[in-house]
Amino acid sequence: MNIVLVGTQWGDEGKGKIIDLLSEDTDIIVRYQGGNNAGHTVIIGEEEFILHLIPSGILRPNKECFIGNGVVIDPKALLEEIQMLRDRNVDVGPHNLHISKSANVIMPYHKLTDRLREEEAIGRIGTTKRGIGPTYLDKAGRVGIRMVDLLSETQLTWKLKRNLKEINLILQKIYGEKGVSYDQLMEEYLEYGKKLQDYIKDTVSLLNFHINQKKNVLFEGAQGTMLDVDHGTYPFVTSSNTTAGGACTGTGVGPTKIDKVIGVMKAYTTRVGEGPFPTELEGEMADKLRNAGPIGEYGRSTGRPRRCGWLDMVVVRRSVLVNGLDSLAITRLDILDDLDKIYVCNKYKYKDTYIEDFPEELEILQNCTPVYEEVKGWKTPTAEIKEFTKLPQKALEYISKIEDLTGVPINILSVGPKRLQTIKK
């Protein structure tokens, strides 16, 4: 069975935990888009791992992990992540980590222009400043440097020379910065190539070979549907296709090979960075959601506090559509344990009209008000519950309401960050 797992909101839904759970019955775990803007948390026993680039499946023994062509890779960050895992006794090497030759490389000038653009007062997106946007810009502009280029001095030479001619003009004339030195970059990136050469492969052939051998593959989405460059709250999005289709283009596996798509949905909503968020809360209620439970809502990549709000079904229903979701996994249900009342947004009000289908107009998203349905809280701790039927009645009603409003079954319920704090229905 080949499964794609995606975030249904604005990222940080708890994908890392669910990936770790599903990896148990999977042979291969694949990242297909994004880069080290992601931060996926997996808790094993008392240990916490935060993965940015390497698939979360690496934490289980005897799994093979792939970083597909759709991912953008900062080689320095990748080498650091490999080292971090090895220091913590996780087995990582070219035998269980395969990196696509065609994945685009994040260069220092991408990180620099990401930061410089963010410092402009107009149009701030609140990016992670990891160089993600500028790298995808070069990829689409056909001037990207690919992982395979790090293995060829001739290829890297002409591409880097061509790119620096333009980028140094931009840095100097537009931003008043110093230019970037060709010699230094050349030396540094050829060195990364040497260190990573055994990992860099034809992942399309290798992955399809495994699929033809009936191995089980899990495609690990990063970010969330509302951050998708086509389907999200554009322009306040990331620069890749975070939705299920990205799993095919980002790995070279055809859509006929995908059996199932699972969406991960937090029991409420969070967002990091700028952009519209209709159900966002402020003040005491937002703080309560942010600080409840064992791990608060602070970014795993940048440490920024996450914006918090109620569950938005207009958003999740859009995710059901654009990903073709078969089922949902709900996470952080335990965070709602103490609340007297819980609210679910099922439509927006804009001027005199009600909107149930996700609006693509930024104008509407920024100015609509959510229309809520009230649900009574269960006021019972859920973190130790292991069986679906043992959940408090009001929690079951909340679950059933979400299933009704999305038309999709919830098959996995997470009531804490640990592996055992999971209920399968």
Contacted entry of Mg ion, ligand IMO, ligand GDP, none for residue 130, CB cut-off 5 to 8 Å set by kind: ligand IMO
Contacted entry of ligand GDP, ligand IMO, Mg ion, none for residue 196, CB cut-off 5 to 8 Å set by kind: none
What count of residues does the chain have? 425
Binding mask 287-306 for ligand IMO (x = CB under 6 A): -------------x------
Q: Using the rule CB under 6 A, is 261 a contact of ligand GDP?
A: no
Least distance to ligand GDP, CB of residue 418, Å:
8
How many residues make contact with ligand IMO (CB under 6 A)?
A: 24
Question: Measured at the alpha carbon of residue 360, what is the angle toward residues 33 and 325, in degrees to the nearest 5?
Answer: 50
408 Cβ neighbours under 8 A, 6+ residues apart = 263, 320, 325, 326, 327, 328
Least distance to ligand IMO, CB of residue 202, Å:
26
Contacted entry of Mg ion, ligand IMO, ligand GDP, none for residue 293, CB cut-off 5 to 8 Å set by kind: ligand GDP
Which pair of tokens denotes residue 334?
């335990």
Least distance to ligand IMO, CB of residue 9, Å:
9
Q: Using the rule CB under 5 A, is 39 a contact of Mg ion?
A: yes
Question: Which secondary-structure segment (H or E) carries 349?
Answer: strand 341-350
Distances (CA, A) of 61 to 20, 58, 92, 302, 388: 12, 7, 10, 29, 29
| Catalytic (active site) residue 91 | no
Which pair of tokens denotes residue 348?
């927006």
Distances (CA, A) of 6 to 31, 165, 194, 250, 285: 11, 39, 33, 14, 27
Neighbours of 28 (CB within 10 A): 23
Least distance to ligand IMO, CB of residue 214, Å:
29
Q: For ligand IMO, which is the closer residue by CB, 57 or 193?
A: 57
Least distance to ligand GDP, CB of residue 369, Å:
28
Peptide bond just before 235 cis, omega within 30 deg = yes
Query: In the 8-state DSSP scheme, what is residue 408?
Result: S
User: What's the CA gap between 191 and 240, in Å, rounded?
Assistant: 28
Strands 40-44 and 64-67: unpaired
CA 269 from chain centre, in angstroms, equals 15
Q: Is 359 helix (H, G, I), strand (E, B) or coil?
A: coil
Q: Using the rule CB under 6 A, is 156 a contact of ligand GDP?
A: no
φ/ψ of residue 388, rounded to 5: -55, -45
Q: Using the rule CB under 6 A, is 127 a contact of ligand IMO?
A: yes
**Which residues partner with 65 through β-bridges?**
29, 97
Q: Using the rule CB under 6 A, is 273 a contact of ligand GDP?
A: no
Q: Look up tokens 């931003």; give the residue.
A: 175
Q: For ligand IMO, which is the closer residue by CB, 201 or 300?
A: 300
Binding mask 8-47 for ligand IMO (x = CB under 6 A): --xxx------------------------xxxx-------
Contacted entry of ligand GDP, ligand IMO, Mg ion, none for residue 335, CB cut-off 5 to 8 Å set by kind: ligand GDP
User: What's the CA gap between 402 and 329, in Å, rounded?
Assistant: 11
Least distance to ligand GDP, CB of residue 218, Å:
14
Q: Using the rule CB under 6 A, is 250 a contact of ligand IMO?
A: no
Least distance to Mg ion, CB of residue 50, Å:
8
Contact between 8 and 325 under an 8 Å Cβ cutoff? The reply is yes
| Catalytic (active site) residue 40 | yes
Binding mask 116-155 for ligand GDP (x = CB under 6 A): ----------------------------------------
Q: For ligand GDP, which is the closer residue by CB, 40 or 159?
A: 40
Catalytic residues: 12, 40
| Interface residues toward Mg ion, by CB under 5 A | 12, 39, 300
